[in-house]
Amino acid sequence: MTEMYEHIDESTLDGMRTLVTEEAVEGKTVLLNMGPQHPSTHGVLRLLLELDGEYVVNCVPDIGFLHTGVEKNMEAKTYTKAEVMTDRLDYLNTVGNNLAYCLAVEKLVDLDVPPRAQAIRVILTELQRIASHLVWLGTHALDLAAMSVFLYCFREREMILDILEMCGGQRMMTTYFRPGGLWRDVPVEFEGAVRNFIKIFPARIQEYEDLLTNNPLFVERTKHIGVLKPEDAIRWGVTGPPLRASGVKHDLRKVRPYSGYEQYDFDIPTQSDGDTYARYLVRIEEMRQSLRIIEQALNKLPYGPVRSNNRKYVPPPRSEIGTSMEALIHHFKLWTEGFPAPKGSVYVAVESPRGELGVYLEGDGGPKPYRVHWRTPSFVNLQVLPLLAKGHLVADLVALIGTVDIVLGDVDR
């Protein structure tokens, strides 16, 4: 099975000819290696930089340091068990990954989800979006030497992680959403905790804004840095906040609603400048819009079951197993063998904090997915980094890596 494949020998300048410009080979520009172990690459991203003085002539991302073979592993597990791996992709948006995967499985086997489960999914996904944006804001500000913002952001993120722990028992890797609904209903303290968060958080967003929005140091480092034109954004498949900061009003929650997003009233924040500052403003406003969605969903949270009644796909509740033979058989079959999914493929996309998170799921009639492919927003958005970085200072590159908001677990899968 060994075949010839291209490989770039980075030990000589001549070997790197296809990566860098002719000036680098002649020695007129400098080549600099950044990462994979570098705090401002937000993980294990490696960049090969070609510099003219302090200006970036070219930047070549090198990824794969965190490749864990999730797609291959998922093929060896049943639909239910494979879900555990979805948390580990984008580890700042764990419930969002669960949601994408569950929606794909539900579409593949044609499974219904009760309205209460859908509303709770929306609440938790939006909370997670805020948590993810908080990590982004903290680290982005930290890259630009604003230490205090990082501490404030993690203070509020902790409140969200507490809510997730309350529901799923885990702070990050919850696997709380299951195909057909949720693992269990939310506890009684849930509503109070979320309401408390909604009450506190708007003032906290204001606090971050006071620290950054009109801060001359921050504005200087972000305005007119890494301008992404809308046509480039579309051509390169960029989605999420970078796309909206370039003036394209596109949000999958609005244009292709899933999980009942069509019931909620919210705006899609856009900016027209397409620079790092515009992307900052879009994400800040997105946190406010998420709060609006959470509040609406909480106010009309319906009562009822949180998992589908379709016993062929969803295990029966514990209480039934003791009294019903049929429930026992279903329980046994679902946990030993799993449920079969029909032959066919579906593509489901949701709006993650980073952009469009797509799942391509193919079934072959058996209990294990035949093929799972993750179209991850970080992977696609990272491709545009060389375009953004061209002609900027090395110091600004650090801001640009932050503004694309990549998670390396999401890039490398």
Partner 1 sequence: MSELLDQAIKTIQSRFQAEVSTFRDEITLWVTAQQIVDACRTLRDEFEFDMLEDETAVDYWPEESPRFHVVYQLYSYPRNERISLRVPLDGNSPSIPSIVPIFPNANWHEREIWDLFGIRFENHPDLRRILMPHDWEGHPLRKDYPLGYEEVMFTFNFDEIDQRKPYAKRYPERQDKAP
Interface contacts to partner 1, rule CB under 8 A:
1-3, 5-8, 18, 63-64, 67, 69, 71-73, 75-76, 107-108, 110, 234-237, 248, 250, 255-256, 344-347, 349, 356, 358, 360, 362, 370-371, 373, 375, 379-380, 383, 412-413
What string of H, E and C letters represents the secondary structure of 321-357?
HCCCHHHHHHHHHHHHCCCCCCCEEEEEEEEECCEEE
Buried b (16+ CB within 10 A) or exposed e, 355-386: bbbbbbbbbeeebbbeebbbbbbbbbbbebbe
Short-list 206, 242, 237, CA closest to 227: 242
**CB-based contacts of 214: which residues, under 8 Å, 6+ apart?**
none
| Minimum CB distance to partner 1, residue 347 (Å) | 5
Q: Which is nearer to partner 1, 73 or 213 (CB)?
A: 73
Phi, psi values for residue 298, rounded to 5°? -70, -35
| Minimum CB distance to partner 1, residue 236 (Å) | 5
Q: Which is nearer to partner 1, 3 or 26 (CB)?
A: 3
| Minimum CB distance to partner 1, residue 104 (Å) | 10
- Helix or strand (DSSP H, E) at 399: helix 394-404
Q: Which is nearer to partner 1, 139 or 378 (CB)?
A: 378
What is the residue whose two structure tokens read 């028992």? 169
Q: Which is nearer to partner 1, 226 or 355 (CB)?
A: 355
For residue 399 the two structure tokens come to: 């801001």
Work out the burial of residue 210: count CB atoms within 10 Å of its CB; fewer than 13 is exposed, 13-18 middle, 19 or more buried: exposed
Q: Which is nearer to partner 1, 139 or 246 (CB)?
A: 246
Please report, to the nearest 10 degrees, the dihedral formed by the alpha carbons of residues 178, 158, 261, 355 taken in order.
-90
Distance in angstroms (rounded) separating the CA atoms of residues 254 and 262? 7
| Minimum CB distance to partner 1, residue 8 (Å) | 7
CB 370 within 8 A of CB 77: no
| Minimum CB distance to partner 1, residue 376 (Å) | 10
- Helix or strand (DSSP H, E) at 363: strand 355-363
CB 246 within 8 A of CB 233: yes
| Minimum CB distance to partner 1, residue 76 (Å) | 5
Distance in angstroms (rounded) separating the CA atoms of residues 29 and 184? 59
Short-list 2, 21, 5, CA closest to 13: 21
| Minimum CB distance to partner 1, residue 68 (Å) | 10
Q: Which is nearer to partner 1, 24 or 153 (CB)?
A: 24
| Minimum CB distance to partner 1, residue 402 (Å) | 21
| Minimum CB distance to partner 1, residue 321 (Å) | 32
- Helix or strand (DSSP H, E) at 282: helix 276-299
Q: Which is nearer to partner 1, 11 or 319 (CB)?
A: 11
Q: Which is nearer to partner 1, 22 or 325 (CB)?
A: 22
Q: Which is nearer to partner 1, 63 or 164 (CB)?
A: 63
Q: Which is nearer to partner 1, 172 or 234 (CB)?
A: 234
| Minimum CB distance to partner 1, residue 146 (Å) | 32
Question: What's the farthest any 2 CA atoms get from each other in the chain?
Answer: 81
